[in-house]
Structures are given as C-alpha cells and as structure tokens.
Amino acid sequence: MEREPKKFSSPEPIKASDSDPKFPLEVAKIAGTDLNACLTCMSCSGGCPMYQYMDYGPHGAMRLIVLGLKKEVLTSNTIWRCLGCHTCAAVCPMAINIAGVMDYLRQECLAEKLPVGDKPLFEFHRCMMNTIRRHGRTHKVELMVEHKIRNLGSGVGALFQDSIVGQKMILMGKLHLMPSRIISSGRAQVTK
C-alpha cells in the first residue's frame, strides 16, 4: 500500500452547495453516537494504525460528515482502509463510536452504488463478508483462496506468492483447513 497525500492540502474550496444537512443526523442516528461532540482533536487519527495510508483519516472523515459532505466521505479510501480495531473509539475523549460510523459509511457507499475508494480492499472486504455469511465467522484459508482467485488479474504468480507462509502457518496450527462454525441460532444473528 502506498502512502497517499492528504486531501486537506487541496487548494479547492469546499462548496456549501455540496453539503447535505440531513447526512450528519442520519449517520448519528444509525451509528448511535453524537457527532457534534467531536472536538477534531485528532486523537483518533493519532492512534489509528492505518492513518498514514488514508486520504482523510478518522478525524477528517468525522469532519466531512459533520459538514454534510456525503459523497466526499463515501468515496474516500478512509472508510475502506479502516481496520475496525476500535483504537480510534478507545482514545476518543468524547467516546464517539468512530469504528461504528466507518461500518455505516461502508454500507452506505455500497447501498448508493458509489465508486469504492480502494478497490482491492473492497474485494478483500467482500470475500471476508462471504465467509462470515457462510460460517458465522471468518475462515481464513477460504478467505485467502477466494481473495487470491478474485485478484487473478495481477498474475498467476500472485495466487501462490504466500503459499510457503501459509504452509508454515498450517503446520503451526495458526490456520485451520476446516472452518469452525457457530451454532445455527448464532449464524442467524450474524446474518441479520
């Protein structure tokens, strides 16, 4: 992953006509968090392990939401490069559920059929969600194989580039060939 320049250095001004005043209310309601409490202190971005690879970072995404710049935040790579590790929420002095907001933004991007900010990560996300739908949790071997097959455009060599590491992980008991399943009622909750 290459480091991208931050978009905040862009000389283009933000236009008030691009703003959707209902968007911050919608996000706050669905994510169950008060976005107006954000101090833009950048603690979330300071703790984020992926911040250097994002175009806006968690604090920038929060600011775009508050400003109502729906299309800008939904087409950013920030929402796709978020790991969902909740470090941002843990360090936020206002206890804003930023990881929950990022989850909602990804769903909204797909629902509105907007261009995805980071296509390879989106493909990985899609493969991961497929394994969760099938088993109720991720099955890492299946996830890796499906992701490699979906990305065959980068050459057949890419399919086998991690095979030696994968074999070592299987022998060490870190990867399991058979998926573990959760009970059927739990799978129904995950699907919901």
pLDDT band at 7 (very low <50, low <70, confident <90, very high): low
pLDDT number for residue 49:
93
> By mean pLDDT, which of 50-54, 172-176, 188-192 is the weakest?
188-192
Pair of tokens at residue 53: 């690879």
Going by the DSSP 8-state scheme, the letter that residue 17 receives in this structure is G
pLDDT number for residue 161:
73
Query: Can you point out the beta strands (E) in the chain?
Result: none
pLDDT number for residue 155:
65
Average pLDDT across the chain, whole number: 82
Query: Per residue in 65-79, is it b (16+ CB within 10 Å) or e — as a string?
Result: bbbbbbebbbbbbbb
The whole-angstrom separation of Cα 103 and Cα 99 is 6
**Is residue 128's pLDDT more than 60?**
yes
Q: Which of 144, 149, 5 is nearest to 77 (CA)?
A: 5
pLDDT number for residue 180:
72
0.85 surpassed by pTM: no
Q: Which of 94, 79, 117, 108 is nearest to 41 (CA)?
A: 94
Q: With beta carbons less than 8 A apart as the criterion, state whether 131 and 91 touch.
A: no
Please list, in sequence order, all residues whose beta carbon lies within 8 angstroms of the beta carbon of residue 50, skipping any fewer than 6 positions away. 81, 82, 83
pLDDT number for residue 102:
93
pLDDT number for residue 59:
95
